[in-house]
Amino acid sequence: MAACHWERKVTTYFDQETVEKDAVETHLLVCADCREHLDILETVRQYTTEVRENTPKIRDEQMPAFMRGIEDALAEAPVKSHKSLWAMLSLVTAALVMAVATFSIFTGPGPAKATEIESVSTELEGATVEWYDMDNGVTTVWINVSEDDVW
């Protein structure tokens, strides 16, 4: 259903801000929609007035007691619970794990060194042993055996 184009004027009339009071009242006599709109506005106002009246108010002489109640509540000692104990234990465990991990990182092996040959020898008659790093970086120990290997 389309609203009557007088609806805004009715609302203004309800707020007692209209200058067309007579015209609106004349229209209300002939327009059921606008009458219904006015009823709704009055109902809403009635409810909001009731809510406001039922809201407790703090009088000036009650204000110090009201504030004292808030301050007392804030000053109350926190309730002891095992949650703090668990939190502390978790914190200690986490700190320990962090310490161990940090220690492991900073005491771990350094950069890898190259393979080193400390000593070589052979008992093969006529054979020699040499060692070197090849172009691909692989350390190689090579036993040079004579061609006329009789072993």
Partner 1 sequence: MRKVLLLWLSVTLLPGVYASVLAQEASGDVPVKVSVWAVLATHEQREQPHFDRGLEVIRSTVSELRYDTYRHLNAIRQQSMKINDEYRLVVNDRYTLYIKPLACDDDGMIRLQLRMEMQPRDRDKEPVVVLQSRQVLSPNQKMIIGGPRLEDGDLVIVLEASK
Cβ distance 83 to 91 under 8 Å?
no
CA 146 to chain centre: 76
78 part of the interface to partner 1, by CB under 8 A: no
CA angle 104, 110, 111 (to 5 degrees): 140
- CA–CA gap between residue 92 and residue 143 (Å, rounded): 59
63 part of the interface to partner 1, by CB under 8 A: no
Torsion, Cα of 58, 61, 63, 66 (10° steps): -90
| CB of residue 102 to partner 1, shortest distance in Å | 12
User: What 8-state DSSP symbol labels residue 151?
Assistant: -
Lay out the site mask for partner 1 across 105-124 (x = CB under 8 A, - = otherwise): ----xx-xxxxxxxxxxxxx
Lay out the site mask for partner 1 across 13-52 (x = CB under 8 A, - = otherwise): ----------------------------------------
Residue closer to partner 1 by CB (options 78, 108) is 108
Interface positions with partner 1 (CB under 8 A): 85, 89, 92-93, 96, 100, 109-110, 112-124, 127, 129, 134-136, 138-145, 149, 151
